[in-house]
Amino acid sequence: MLFKSILTAAFAAGLSLAGSAAFAQTVGPFGETATPSAEVKLTDADIAALKDKSYKAALLWHTSSDFTNAVSAGAKDEFARAGVTIAVTTDAQFDAARQRSDIETALAARPNVILSLPLDPVTSAEAFRQAVKDGTKLVFLSNVPQGYKQGTDYASIVTDDLFQMGKQAADALAKAIGGKGTVGYIFHDASYYVTNQRDQAFKSTIEKNYPDIKIVAEQGISDPARAEELASAMLLQHPDLDGIYVTWAEPADGVLSALRGAGNTKTKIVTLDLAEPVALDMVKGGNVAALVADKAYELGRAMAAAGMKALLDQPTPAFVVAPALTVTKENVAEGWKESLNRDAPQSVLDAAK
């Protein structure tokens, strides 16, 4: 999962990696200990206590995509168990001003719970303040408004198991190149705890677990549109790379273009998040060896569960993570469904046959 222009807002918030615990596990934006999403669940008694209360929820998303559709599906199914209706669903189209307007519109419907990914930490801090005053329970996906405190202003932050995503990417690339060789490392060159932890987990896993694999080229990237250019420069200096890690799927497509332009069919790519272009190359036996994804449906389920636990005045964990999974040619149909709660693109399914 990656949020494109939301990253700019996250950087402005000053979110960074907490501590230097060698990335042994995923931590929250302020150093919070991660709670597995499977532990955030409602009992039968909780469900009974929530039913027939006419509770309403609002889903205020940053964009419209397969990812947000899957998160919404998980949330809606969990809310439905307790009879919580969805009063409002919005798409801010990566526009912080529009998201603020969406929040104001949603509050008119008086939702008891709001699930959202705040695009801009400053703007959203102001926009959600009325919801906090109204006693609305807030659960955030990956980001948090500036100055907000868990337990007072919001119930939980829910995101991916960031360390596991990076680790699984390292394991997949190591497997693809036979456990030895040289690799390039294209990381997200900005301070954002989501991508930073994923990237660093890849790097630390290679360095600690695979002594016969050497990272010989490193390149930071902030603009995905420059991925092909940067990868071409890396390949010019290191034409014999066995593999390349790319921080997420959009720039990975640019790296793939650079490899194709160089006539390189040897170098393997592993990246994070599901996307049709890189998945199509993977199932056709191209450069892409594996994709590591989050379980978006589970993210939504856990967000809804946390919101409803807050409605019941139960304690909620500050930072919740959903599992990661590695998707390859062999399990692409199952992996896509498990991650996004939808079938893989038909082009990918056809090519995988």
Domains and CATH numbers, the chain: 6-160+296-322 (3.40.50.2300), 162-294+326-352 (3.40.50.2300)
311: left (phi over 0), alpha (psi -120 to 50) or beta: alpha
State the amino acid at position 17 in one-letter form. L
Structure tokens given for 260: 């194709």
Section 119-123 average pLDDT: 88
Percent of the chain with pLDDT over 70: 93
pLDDT of residue 18: 36
Average pLDDT, the chain: 92
Section 159-185 average pLDDT: 97
Section 149-155 average pLDDT: 97
pLDDT of residue 178: 98
pLDDT tens for each residue of 280-310: 999 999 999 999 999 999 999 999 999 999 9
Q: Are 293 and 325 in contact, with CB atoms under 8 Å apart?
A: yes
Cα–Cα distance for residue pair 67/132, rounded to 1 Å:
27
Q: What's the whole-model pTM score?
A: 0.87
pLDDT tens for each residue of 173-214: 999 999 999 999 999 998 888 899 999 999 999 999 999 999
Q: Are 256 and 278 in contact, with CB atoms under 8 Å apart?
A: yes
How many other β-carbons are positioned within 10 Å of the β-carbon of residue 137? 25
How many other β-carbons are positioned within 10 Å of the β-carbon of residue 54? 9
pLDDT of residue 253: 96
pLDDT tens for each residue of 213-250: 999 999 999 999 999 999 999 999 999 999 999 999 99
pLDDT tens for each residue of 18-54: 333 334 589 998 999 999 999 999 999 999 999 999 9
Section 166-179 average pLDDT: 98
**Least-confidence region, from 20-29, 63-72, 267-276:** 20-29
pLDDT of residue 24: 59
Cα–Cα distance for residue pair 172/268, rounded to 1 Å:
10
Cα–Cα distance for residue pair 1/279, rounded to 1 Å:
15
C-alpha distance from residue 15 to each of 158, 183, 340 (Å): 15, 29, 27
Q: Is 90 exceeded by the pLDDT of residue 165?
A: yes
